[in-house]
Structure 1
Amino acid sequence: MRIIQQGFAFLGLAFALLLFSTLTQAASLPDFTELVEEAAPAVVNISTTKAPDPKRAHPLSGLKEEDLPEIFRHFFGGKIPTPNAPRGQTPPQQSLGSGFIISEDGYLLTNNHVVEGAEQIIVRLSDRRELEAKVIGLDKRTDLALLKIDAQNLPVVELGDSSKLKAGEWVLAIGSPFGFDHSVTAGIVSAVGRSLPNENYVPFIQTDVAINPGNSGGPLFNLEGEVVGINSQIYTRSGGFMGLSFAIPIDVAMNVAEQLKTEGRVARGWLGVIIQEVNRDLAESFGLKKPMGALVVQVASDDPAGKGGIQEGDIILEFNGVEIHRSGELPPVVGQIHPGDSAKVKVLRGGKRIFLTIVIEELPEQSIAAAKAPEEPKVAPADRLGLRVVDLSSEQKQRLQADHGILIQDVVAGSGERAGLRSGDLLTMLNGVQIDSVKRYLEVVAALKSGDSVPIRVVRQGSASFIPLKVE
């Protein structure tokens, strides 16, 4: 009997400890209720109507009943399902998104992809009023849109400082996923300054906050109830949320919004370089202790970088006081510089760190590479790297838009083959030396020492990159 009593006492103590632990953990989790009550009135639902897309015509439009396959006759009783539009036409496209009010007189922010091409934009406020909005400005590069509704004394969000965000912080999103107004989801910041493919000018905030279609354009709040980002996109293989969502930093968004409001367009700084990531092998070949910086693989003499002295093969380590750890960090920093302003740039060149002053220009829509007339081609035998190279002909220079370099005609067993060089590659630089002829190339090759790891710059199918090469 005594043993049984002791057993019950032990179980009671264990249950008490478990309950205490659970209550302690619950107490440490944030309570978002007050934040949502204060912030939600400034969050809006956005619905748009766009012109019909002729490419998405109803699959049965224009068919006669006798044209229906037997299986359709079976399911539809011999009748053609009637589209929600006259035959041969498609109904207007409708979409949903979110946004938030940034001024009492009706300015609000959302994503560009939410309203782009819309013929009508309806904003539904938290008090259920529905107002038509007009577009003040759009910016595709940051996926931002500034809208205006005709209203006064509106609730507004409080803006925060996204530069102070750190991984691990709690954040909260309010939006209209699948049309469910003012849905609240929460999570943490997974990473900051995240670069995404084809999104060079936005250092995204990555979170694990649940974001779905309809959340686009909605605000991301910190625990102080301040907007720190605009929910923009998700990474998914299924089409639904998979734990990876990305928000535009509010610092970037407000800079764009101010330019759209005052100028109607956005002017970004432009350096005029093509860059690549520095991996471990490239870091070794350039004499870096660890991978860092942005490796310049292409620059034109009449671009801002060329005018300021930046050369192909330079590694940009610092731009205007900001250290560049990864190549993707450079474009957003450059883009924030006002065209016409100067920037201090620290680069690694030939093992030495040097400082340059670059006058930043405005980012153009397109840039065209220059081409010059060359000499007659000269063929060289296979060298110690296992490469057979040839000087460029005039026609080749024009076709490749190259003003220097030599063509790799053949690759045999050797260092070049192991580095991944291919027949047809345009070789423009070796070990920091610009190659403008076969003669110059052979001089550089002859000076290489066995065991050296050196960078070699090639252009393949119009894309330039550096490749680490181990001399054997």
Structure 2
Amino acid sequence: MTNPADLPKIPPQKKPRGLLSMRKFALMASVVAGLGAAAYGLSTPYATDAFVSPAHAQVNKDVRQVQQPIGFADIVERVKPSVISVRVRIEEKQTADNNDDLPFPPGSPMERFFRRFGGPDGFPGGPGGRRGRGNLVTGQGSGFFISADGYAVTNNHVVDGADKVEVTTDDGKTYKAKVIGTDKRTDLALIKVEGGSNFPFAKLSDGEPRIGDWVLAVGNPFGLGGTVTAGIVSARGRDIGNGPYDDFIQIDAPVNKGNSGGPAFDTAGEVIGVNTAIYSPSGGSVGIAFSIPSATVKNVVAQLKDKGTVSRGWIGVQIQPVTQEIADSLGLKKAEGALVAEPQTNGPAAKAGIESGDVINKVNDQPVKDARELARTIGGMAPGASIKLGVLHKGSEKTLTLTLGELPNAKSIKTGFNDNDNGPGRNGNGSDVPNLGLTVAPAKSVAGAGKEGVVITNVNPDGASAERGLKEGDVILEVAGKSVATADDIRNELNIARADKKNSVLIRVRSGDSSRFVALPVGKG
């Protein structure tokens, strides 16, 4: 019998080197392809659909269809030629740097935080980055064409008061320009570039950006060929304390110095806003900027082109926000609407029957969120238009119809009482209202205080009144809707409020020529 160990051994069959089974090949190809795709942010390209399940194939197809292009080169190439550098020259005697067109006192925290940006040295250095040399002040900013015949948009603070305006286009050519009109309230200006008729121009967007949308800030700050930064829309309707028409788009992007007046583009290449300010606690960009919405730009530019100025609707009231305390005092469920502090004599609102203490909560049947929204809504309407106002008057809803007047271009604002020995609040006389932390005297007994109400002669710095901004010289006209002439009148209204189990009482206060409402806690009797 043959011993198996003596049989000749047959060597095992070896696979040729470099060859894999089809199954292993498909698996390894998928893995390798997936790793490569992940490195470049692409969908995974399989070797062949024969090795992919139908479900996986559909997923990969969907991913490829929704992918967005990487980078903004195509958009920038299309829109950048419409952006210009704007240079101004002003002859003036005053050569010191000034910030007169800014809403904040020089050196104040707000002035440091919210800065205009535009100029050779950026901000500080005056409006539009202006600098004084002898009797010549120069400034630099950006802008963009809105029509082929040379109309362009920039900021008011870039060209305000300019004697000479020059623009440099993206291809390096320089042209003279003239200012067609400016609007300080929105910080917009329209200029007309001379010497051309076929300029590349940008389109103002008809829509509103969404929070999270991409945005490109493009400028040509120094005529060096332009600058582009990218970011996202992080908020709309921002109020930075610039004025009653604040309605800025906040974009989180490192907007460069000199971009003031330049456009902010969406990914369709349309202008969603005009860059006007940056948040700058350090003096440079920290990546937060503010743009004027395209809807506002359209409205203002159309009027500037037509007549060189902007007309706004006006109802003639002093208004203030409805705080939660004020809402509680008025018995409102929500802190919404605009509280009328005082209607102007013979103004449209007064003629229609609106009174102090009324709350305007609708315009043409559309809800009014707050006082600033009311100001923007009315300001965006044409003088002479007939409108309906929804008003809450002493707890009852009513609708009033009125014709809008025209907002005055400038208002004379008196400073109020003089700081002298005969003025209110300086003689120390009066009766105490301890619950409010006040000492008051009849207004008619104090020189310069007028004939109505009681004047505040002393304020407890630790009291509720001081916390809410009341000061010596303010005149209390009403408490809980009732006129007051003595300290006893105030005490009586406080007692009534306590009996009604109210936590606070609404008082109307006059400071100089302005009136406002303040909600004060009733306190214990």
What TM-score does the superposition give when structure 2 sets the normalisation length? 0.71
Indicate the residue corresponding to 1:350 in structure 2.
Answer: 394
CA distance in 1, matches of 2:283, 2:458: 45
- Counterpart of 2:38 (choices 12, 16, 20) is 20
Indicate the residue corresponding to 2:520 in structure 1.
Answer: 469
With over 3 angstroms needed to count, the CA separation of the structure-2 counterparts of 1:175 and 1:388, relative to structure 1, is closer
Indicate the residue corresponding to 1:315 in structure 2.
Answer: 359
Corresponding residue SS for 2:498: coil
How big is each residue's C-alpha offset from its partner over 1:166-218, in whole Å with a ceiling of 9 and x where there is no partner?
22222111102455432111111122122232322241111112223210111
Corresponding residue SS for 2:295: helix
Corresponding residue SS for 1:199: coil
Q: Is the 8 A contact 1:275 1:295 kept in 2?
A: yes
Please tell me the residue identity of whatever aligns with 2:276: S
Q: Is the 8 A contact 2:87 2:165 kept in 1?
A: yes
With over 3 angstroms needed to count, the CA separation of the structure-2 counterparts of 1:423 and 1:56, relative to structure 1, is closer
2:506 is equivalent to residue 455 of structure 1: yes
CA distance in 2, matches of 1:158, 1:414: 56
Corresponding residue SS for 2:244: strand
Please tell me the residue identity of whatever aligns with 1:366: K
Deviation at 1:389, TM superposition (A): 4.2
Give 5+ residue unaligned stretches, structure 2: 1-29, 44-65, 98-131, 417-428
Q: Is the 8 A contact 1:194 1:203 kept in 2?
A: yes
Indicate the residue corresponding to 1:49 in structure 2.
Answer: 89
With over 3 angstroms needed to count, the CA separation of the structure-2 counterparts of 1:148 and 1:347, relative to structure 1, is same
- Counterpart of 1:211 (choices 238, 249, 255) is 255
How big is each residue's C-alpha offset from its partner over 1:115-144, in whole Å with a ceiling of 9 and x where there is no partner?
122222111122322111111112212111
Give 5+ residue unaligned stretches, structure 1: 1-11, 58-87, 372-377
CA distance in 2, matches of 1:411, 1:107: 56
How big is each residue's C-alpha offset from its partner over 1:253-286, in whole Å with a ceiling of 9 and x where there is no partner?
2221121222121111122222222222222222
CA distance in 2, matches of 1:15, 1:293: 60
Identity across matched positions, percent: 39
Indicate the residue corresponding to 2:188 in structure 1.
Answer: 144
CA distance in 2, matches of 1:201, 1:419: 25
Indicate the residue corresponding to 2:217 in structure 1.
Answer: 173
With over 3 angstroms needed to count, the CA separation of the structure-2 counterparts of 1:416 and 1:263, relative to structure 1, is closer
Deviation at 1:293, TM superposition (A): 2.0
Indicate the residue corresponding to 1:66 in structure 2.
Answer: none
- Counterpart of 1:428 (choices 477, 487, 490) is 477
Please tell me the residue identity of whatever aligns with 1:23: G
2:300 is equivalent to residue 256 of structure 1: yes
2:79 is equivalent to residue 35 of structure 1: no
Q: Is the 8 A contact 1:292 1:325 kept in 2?
A: yes
Corresponding residue SS for 1:196: coil
Deviation at 1:110, TM superposition (A): 0.8
With over 3 angstroms needed to count, the CA separation of the structure-2 counterparts of 1:386 and 1:199, relative to structure 1, is closer
The residue correspondences of 1:434-445 to structure 2 (distance < 5 A) are 434-435=483-484, 441=490, 444-445=493-494
With over 3 angstroms needed to count, the CA separation of the structure-2 counterparts of 1:289 and 1:21, relative to structure 1, is farther
Please tell me the residue identity of whatever aligns with 1:20: A
Indicate the residue corresponding to 1:302 in structure 2.
Answer: 346
Please tell me the residue identity of whatever aligns with 1:155: P
The residue correspondences of 1:328-347 to structure 2 (distance < 5 A) are 328-347=372-391
How big is each residue's C-alpha offset from its partner over 1:65-110, in whole Å with a ceiling of 9 and x where there is no partner?
xxxxxxxxxxxxxxxxxxxxxxx97273332211111111111111
- Counterpart of 1:269 (choices 313, 323, 332) is 313
Q: Is the 8 A contact 2:436 2:520 kept in 1?
A: no
The farther-off stretch of 412-421 and 224-233 is: 412-421
Deviation at 1:464, TM superposition (A): 3.3
Indicate the residue corresponding to 1:404 in structure 2.
Answer: 452
Deviation at 1:411, TM superposition (A): 6.4
The farther-off stretch of 132-141 and 439-448 is: 439-448
Deviation at 1:336, TM superposition (A): 1.0
Pair member with larger Rg:
2
Deviation at 1:388, TM superposition (A): 5.5
Please tell me the residue identity of whatever aligns with 1:278: V
Deviation at 1:56, TM superposition (A): 3.8
CA distance in 2, matches of 1:277, 1:262: 34
CA distance in 2, matches of 1:53, 1:437: 53
The farther-off stretch of 312-321 and 112-121 is: 312-321
CA distance in 2, matches of 1:456, 1:278: 13
Please tell me the residue identity of whatever aligns with 2:519: P
Deviation at 1:362, TM superposition (A): 0.8
CA distance in 2, matches of 1:415, 1:275: 23
Corresponding residue SS for 1:118: coil
CA distance in 1, matches of 2:508, 2:269: 49
CA distance in 1, matches of 2:476, 2:253: 46
With over 3 angstroms needed to count, the CA separation of the structure-2 counterparts of 1:382 and 1:249, relative to structure 1, is closer
How big is each residue's C-alpha offset from its partner over 1:390-440, in whole Å with a ceiling of 9 and x where there is no partner?
4321874xx34x563222456689986887755543111222334466676
RMSD: 3.6
Please tell me the residue identity of whatever aligns with 1:310: I
